[in-house]
Amino acid sequence: MTDAAASRNEALRLVATLTIAGLFSGISIVLAYRTTLPRIQANQRAALERAVFEVLPGTVRLERLAWDGAKLAAGEAGKGALQESIFAGYGADDALLGFAVPGAGAGFADTIKLIYGLDPSGERVLGMKVLESRETPGLGDKIYKDAKFVAEFRALVVDPVIELIKGHGERDNQVDAITGATISSRAVVKILNQTNTVWRPRIAALAAQPPEAGDASRPVPATSTILPPDVERGGPVPGGLTGDKP
Amino acid sequence: MSSASGRFLPEMAKGILRENPTFVQVLGMCPALAVTNSVLNGIVMGAATTFVLVMSSLMISALRKLIPSQVRISTYVVVIATFVTVADFTLQAMLPAAHHEMAAFISLIVVNCVILGRAEAFASRNPVLLSIADALGMGLGFSLAMVLIGGIREVLGSGSFFGIPVFGPGFEPWVVMVLPPGGFLVLGVLLLALAKFAELRSRAEEQRSRAAGEEPR
């Protein structure tokens, strides 16, 4: 065997080793991924549902409402991006309790993802839960660990905007900032306000929709009325379906 | 084979104390500092690292005669990364809360030099059984260190142990302990204490051998 042939064989051996290692690696990872995927998805769904139940106290049934660009319609759970759908929560007597709205925005460190409950009229926050954040442990993480701060988001008026106050806010639309975590507190309030500007018109438009339109796409006939009486009373809003493009 | 199984326990024991990867070899400092702010995180990190250590040592030791030396490091890294990914998925499926808390650091086990170090220094030159013993010992030693640091930091920084409050409601948590500087502080103090302990022990040994009329070591 010549030198050239020997070195070529040697090179082939190196390539073959790495190829086999890569092949083994690929197969193992695919197997592990396929095995764990259902469990991981179930975990994520369960975590999301727990969060929704938490921000809409009393909820026994959820319905996912997806924004299709023009209106809100009952969407299939798990379809589409999370940020483009909200959840309608129904109580024991099938009355609409409110909507759980996911929101996200920049925090002090990395994106904060949260979900909050709006009452059916879209005018009051019922509860807020942080889903994902990398805020500083001991300081910024108080946005979900500090019970007092979390409690500020129960029965919080969103109109005209939610305000962050240092000290003690007197009015219903004010939230007390956490000492030492002003940026994180401000981020949460900002996410809520930004998400509200997107979703409140959409929710209002949903309220203005004739109930039949909602019925057609709804899988559960038992809950034929998606509209709470107090919103329905206002009647259809002219242009409500088209005048709310984000 | 009989000699190999006789060496199993000693090979395993050395990693736990005498050659502890964290306190003696001072390897794998990134996870030792980053995720040890609670006992649970320490246990999960230790278990995941031990799993990767044992599986990759087994694989590398079994294939040690087939892997050409020029590409051995890249092959080791591929093998290690594979098991890290498997551990990552498994953790995500079994313990979503713990995974959520230290997501990035699980993937970073790939670059934990304890693992590549054992592959290169031990598994690539020793039979399978001994390599597993070595990996198990190193993994246990690493886990021990993680839990120790995690325990101290959780007690001081959160006032709890394994999530159970240990102090009364009047306790003001020492927040810096759960932050990265707390990791450096605790690790530094532990290393200092261990160095002092080793010094005292070697001095005692010296005196003993002198008393026995031997040359001092």
Query: Where exactly are the structural domains of chain B?
Result: 2-154
Least Cα separation, residue B88 to chain A (angstroms): 9
> In the structure, what pLDDT confidence band is assigned to residue A216 with cuts at 50, 70 and 90?
very low
The predicted pLDDT at position B86 comes to 94
List the structure tokens of B76: 């080791």
- Mean of the pLDDT values across residues B43-64? 94
Q: Do B81 and A25 touch (CB under 8 A)?
A: yes
DSSP 8-state code for residue B177? G
Q: For B174, name the nearest residue in chain A, comparing CA atoms only.
A: A138
What was the pLDDT predicted at A46?
87
Q: Give residue-wise pLDDT tens across range A24-58.
A: 999 999 999 999 999 998 988 888 888 888 888 88
pLDDT at A140 over 90: no
pLDDT level of residue A224 (50, 70, 90 thresholds): very low
Looking at the complex, report in whole angstroms how far the Cα of residue B145 sits from the nearest Cα belonging to chain A: 22
The residue in chain B having the minimum alpha-carbon distance to the alpha carbon of residue A27 is B82
Q: What is the mean pLDDT of residues B66-72?
A: 90
Task: Tally Cβ neighbours within 10 Å of residue A236.
Answer: 12
Q: Mean pLDDT, to the nearest integer, of B79-89?
A: 94
A193 pLDDT band, cuts 50/70/90, is very high
ipTM above 0.85, yes or no: no
What is the chain A residue with the closest CA to B59? A21
Q: Report the residue from B75, B83, B93 with minimal CB separation from A36.
A: B93
Q: What is the largest CA-CA distance in chain B?
A: 62
Has residue A108 got a pLDDT over 80? yes
- Dist. CA B159–CA B180, nearest whole Å: 17
Question: Is residue B127 within 8 angstroms of chain A, CB to CB?
Answer: no
> What does the DSSP 8-state code read for residue B90?
H
Q: Tell me the percentage of chain A whose pLDDT exceeds 90.
A: 23
Q: Tell the residue number behind the tokens 């993937």, with chain if given.
A: B107
At B171, is the pLDDT very low, low, confident or very high (cuts 50, 70, 90)? confident
Q: How far is CA B82 from the centre of its chain?
A: 19
**How is residue A196 written in tokens?**
């509200």
CB–CB contact B79 A36 (8 Å): no
Give the 3-state secondary structure of chain A.
CCHHHHHHHHHHHHHHHHHHHHHHHHHHHHHHHHHHHHHHHHHHHHHHHHHHHHHCCCCCEEEEEEECCCCEEECCCCCCCHHHEEEEEECCCCCEEEEEEEEEEECCCCEEEEEEEECCCCCEEEEEEEEECCCCCCCCCHHHHCHHHHHCCCCEECCCCCEEECCCCCCCCEEECCCCCHHHHHHHHHHHHHHHHHHHHHHHHHHHCCHHHHHHCCCCHHHCCCCCHHHHCCCCCCCCCCCCCC
Write the residue in A18, A28, A32 that is nearest to B75 by C-beta: A18
Q: What was the pLDDT predicted at A220?
A: 42
Contact A136 B100 (CB under 8 A): no
The per-residue pLDDT for B133 is 95
d(CA B86, CA A4): 41
Which three-class secondary structure state does DSSP give residue B114?
helix
Query: Is B147's pLDDT higher than 90?
Result: yes
Whole-model pTM over 0.80: no
Amino acid letter, B203: R
Please indicate whether, in this complex, the C-beta atoms of B92 and A10 are within 8 angstroms of each other: no
Mapped onto helix, strand or coil, the DSSP state of residue B96 is helix
pLDDT at A229: 34
Can you say whether the dihedral through the CA atoms of B173, B178, B181, B182 is positive or negative? positive
Whether the per-residue pLDDT at B138 is higher than 90: the answer is yes
Interface test with B, best of A12, A23, A29 (most B CBs within 10 A): A29
